[in-house]
Amino acid sequence: MTGHGPGTKPGTKLPAPPPGWIIDADVVVVGSGVAGLTAALRCAAAGSRTVVVTKARLDDGSTRWAQGGIAAALGEGDTPEQHLDDTLVAGAGLCDEMAVRTLVTEGPDAVRRLIASGAQFDVSRTGGIALTREGGHHRSRIAHAGGDATGAEISRALVQAVRTHAPAAPAPAAPDATGAPATGLPQGSIRTVENALVLDLLTSPDDGRTTGVTLHVMGEGQHDGVGAVHAPAVVLATGGMGQVFSATTNPAVSTGDGVALALRAGAEVSDLEFVQFHPTVLYLGREAEGQQPLISEAVRGEGAYLVDADGERFMLGRHELAELAPRDIVAKGIMRRMRERGAEHMYLDARHFGAEMWEHRFPTILAACRAHGIDPVTEPIPVAPAAHYASGGVRTDLRGRTTVPGLYACGEAACTGVHGANRLASNSLLEGLVFAERIAQDIAQGIAQDSTHGDAHEPTLPATESAAAPALTTPLLPASARTAIQRIMTEGAGVLRSGTSLTRAAAQLAALSADTEHKPAEPGVDTWETANLHLVARVLVAAALRRTETRGCHWREDHPERDDAVWRRHLTVSLRPDARSSTLDTLDVRTTDATAFPPVEPSRGGPATEASTNASPSNAPSTHDPPTNPAPPGSQAAATEENP
């Protein structure tokens, strides 16, 4: 398998001015959640000159919003094998067992290293880590901090550690080949660039290897406008894409930037149809948009009940774990009861907790509810499912390597194979932690090998800036199209999907593209973000339309049953130019021939390892079957999204 999908021409990019300033580094990490900051800290500890690029402030990512906690087999009687079993069940037959085994066996020590770096978890009366239980877990294995502020505490500890690695003053470096002023960094330091939107990957015109990223700093900090960070290793840790829907638990920065960048660079993404809708999000009315308050799974873990308007517990009898069933099952249970009763929401009843428990165990949730006029101490909480987590993302191996040499991904932006068709509660923070450490180790080994063999990769002009290989430039949608995309996705690709709704959504998204071909919008943060949302929306819809079954958090009303014979396999998607247009691209949608992923091209030269060695054969030549036709068992099929 080559580094790019069949027929893919890498180098599609967003229209933007050329970089006006440059930073030279060994590693650039895009994102400042648990995955990004852990990768940066481990890379710096290995002596790498590291740059962290983040869209807002260092502590403004999705990690700080994580309420429940981090799952690991830390308790007495618990084992990694039991954690593995719960994860595989939640993943509905699509987890990569080797990836899950890596997560659960390396997870406990990774959490201990997180504690050693300064994170303070809640402790029990005996002085050990206090562990609780959440949906899908048969053991109490969720470590939490501040009651329901685990993400905020992890973010605090990691941000503080990163700031201690900041260089005293940037070191001057020689100007870039373009003449733009360049800045160097001392070994083992971490430089942060905040309020910066990453734009595109830079690659070498000679071998397609990663050479850095372009970015736009949004009016604050030392640099302003479009610049570049030159580095032979890029780590995407940009978080999710929840803002593609009208209602989500994700912060405003979650616009799928990393997944969109990777697609434009020629990387493959996988499993994007599996968007987890958190079952218990505070219902604020049908007109509510943007980030919605999450009512953590931990509330149900402590004994809260899901009830309808009559007070009936409707999850009893639907699953052995009732309210603590995996999230996809609870979300479907809520949606079914809403349909049966013609209701817009259900209720989460935790009045039996009492005021003291609410104030000490869930102070953040209590405050959020009261801010919206609801007091969970005295009344049930109105809840409904909302977009929460992308189980898919940029396809990687067990070292975080993507199909583009030198490009890595971890956290929610990645698809490691851990989550399968549905993420187990509180596995996300652990996945970010474990695979970020593995990425840092791989980068350090690669740098050492390059140094030994005199094979250092100096930053060069990327193919996207080379006259010999002009790039396909993505036409920009107006910023106002963002609301239209969210409406299209909510109506056509939300919790309930069908062939009809997805076909309509695909046509509406394509129509937005067609409108831009002759009247593109001007480059800017709003239009770049809208372009990213539009691209990930297209991929999600194409994959959801292709998968004609119900599995995990993908629910097809017209195909309500799980179909292991045909669909216990993955969909991979890459971009390629549209032969009918000089500006538009199209999606190459492919079906793997087994549950295991095809090999991922190693980021550096040498033999394939781990995920590459036990995976199924690479993709067969592309065909042009209609997107809704499933691949027959044991075959490798492909389809292309057609632009009307």
pLDDT for residue 23: 95
Residues 585, 577: contact at Cβ < 8 Å? yes
State the DSSP code for 282.
E
Structure confidence by residue, pLDDT tens digits, 444-500: 998 767 655 444 444 444 434 433 345 678 889 999 999 999 999 999 999 889 999
Tell me what the mean pLDDT of segment 420-442 comes to.
Answer: 95
In this predicted structure, the answer to whether residue 626 has a pLDDT above a threshold of 80 is: no
Residues 108, 176: contact at Cβ < 8 Å? no
What is d(CA 537, CA 260) in angstroms, rounded to the nearest whole number?
10
What is d(CA 213, CA 229) in angstroms, rounded to the nearest whole number?
6
pLDDT for residue 34: 95
Please tell me which residue in 101, 133, 300, 327 is annotated as part of the active site. Answer: 327
Secondary structure class of 361 (helix, strand, coil): helix
Bridge partners, 576 (sequence order): 586
pLDDT for residue 64: 77
Tell me what the mean pLDDT of segment 318-344 comes to.
Answer: 91
pLDDT for residue 620: 34
Percent of the chain with pLDDT over 70: 83
Q: Is 327 a catalytic residue?
A: yes
Residues 193, 213: contact at Cβ < 8 Å? no
Structural tokens at position 9: 């021409």
Bridge partners, 248 (sequence order): 291, 387
In this predicted structure, the answer to whether residue 628 has a pLDDT above a threshold of 70 is: no
Structure confidence by residue, pLDDT tens digits, 563-616: 999 999 999 999 987 766 655 678 999 999 888 877 886 444 333 333 333 333
pLDDT for residue 263: 96
Between 12-26, 34-48, 105-119, 466-480, the lowest mean confidence (pLDDT) is in 466-480
Tell me what the mean pLDDT of segment 19-25 comes to.
Answer: 94
Question: How large is the greatest C-alpha to C-alpha distance in the chain, in angstroms?
Answer: 72
pLDDT for residue 83: 97
Highest mean pLDDT among 145-154, 156-165, 374-383: 374-383
Q: Please enumerate in sequence order all residues whose Cβ is within 8 A of that of 598, keeping only pairs 6 or more positions apart, or say none.
A: 1, 572, 592, 615, 616, 617, 618, 619
Smallest Cα–Cα separation from 511: which of 644, 381, 637? 644
Q: Tell me whether strands 225-230 and 305-307 are parallel, antiparallel or unpaired.
A: unpaired
In this predicted structure, the answer to whether residue 618 has a pLDDT above a threshold of 70 is: no
Residues 119, 154: contact at Cβ < 8 Å? yes
Secondary structure class of 143 (helix, strand, coil): strand
Structure confidence by residue, pLDDT tens digits, 258-317: 999 999 999 999 999 999 999 999 999 888 888 899 998 889 989 999 999 999 999 999
Give me the CATH code for the 480-564 domain, please.
1.20.58.100
Which helix (H) or strand (E) covers residue 213, if one does?
A: strand 210-217
Structure confidence by residue, pLDDT tens digits, 522-575: 999 999 999 999 999 999 999 999 999 999 999 999 999 999 999 999 999 999
pLDDT for residue 634: 39
In this predicted structure, the answer to whether residue 7 has a pLDDT above a threshold of 50 is: no
In this predicted structure, the answer to whether residue 110 has a pLDDT above a threshold of 60 is: yes
Helix and strand element counts for the chain (H, E): 14, 26
Domain spans in the chain, listed from the N-terminal domain onward = 278-386, 480-564
Q: At 236, is the pLDDT very low, low, confident or very high (cuts 50, 70, 90)?
A: very high
C-beta atoms surrounding 143 within 10 Å: 27
For every residue of 473-539, DSSP letters joined together read BPPPPPTTHHHHHHHHHHHHSSSSB-HHHHHHHHHHHHHHHHHHTTSPPPPSHHHHHHHHHHHHHHH
Higher pLDDT, 28 or 643: 28
b/e code 46-76 from CB counts within 10 Å (16+ = b): bebbbbbbbbbebbbbbbbbbbbbbbbbbbe
pLDDT for residue 619: 37
For every residue of 388-410, DSSP letters joined together read EEES-EEE--TT-B-SSTTEEE-
b/e code 243-282 from CB counts within 10 Å (16+ = b): bbbbbbbbbebbbbbbbbbbbbbbbbbbbbbbbbbbbbbb
Listed in order, strand segments (DSSP E) in 258-411 are 269-270, 275-282, 290-291, 305-307, 346-349, 381-390, 393-395, 407-409
Q: Please enumerate in sequence order all residues whose Cβ is within 8 A of that of 643, keeping only pairs 6 or more positions apart, or say none.
A: 510, 513, 514, 578, 580, 581, 584, 586
Tell me what the mean pLDDT of segment 500-505 comes to.
Answer: 98
Between 5-19, 223-237, 493-507, 521-535, the lowest mean confidence (pLDDT) is in 5-19
Between 2-6, 186-190, 333-337, the lowest mean confidence (pLDDT) is in 2-6
Q: At 172, is the pLDDT very low, low, confident or very high (cuts 50, 70, 90)?
A: very low
Residues 239, 254: contact at Cβ < 8 Å? yes
What is d(CA 339, CA 26) in angstroms, rounded to the nearest whole number?
54
- Looking at domain 278-386, its CATH class is alpha beta
What is d(CA 281, CA 266) in angstroms, rounded to the nearest whole number?
36
pLDDT for residue 517: 67
Write down the residue that tokens 């191996």 correspond to.
397
Secondary structure class of 52 (helix, strand, coil): strand
What is d(CA 555, CA 89) in angstroms, rounded to the nearest whole number?
17
Secondary structure class of 421 (helix, strand, coil): coil
In this predicted structure, the answer to whether residue 182 has a pLDDT above a threshold of 90 is: no
Tell me what the mean pLDDT of segment 166-174 comes to.
Answer: 56
Structural tokens at position 628: 């809704």
Bridge partners, 226 (sequence order): 216
Tell me what the mean pLDDT of segment 319-332 comes to.
Answer: 89
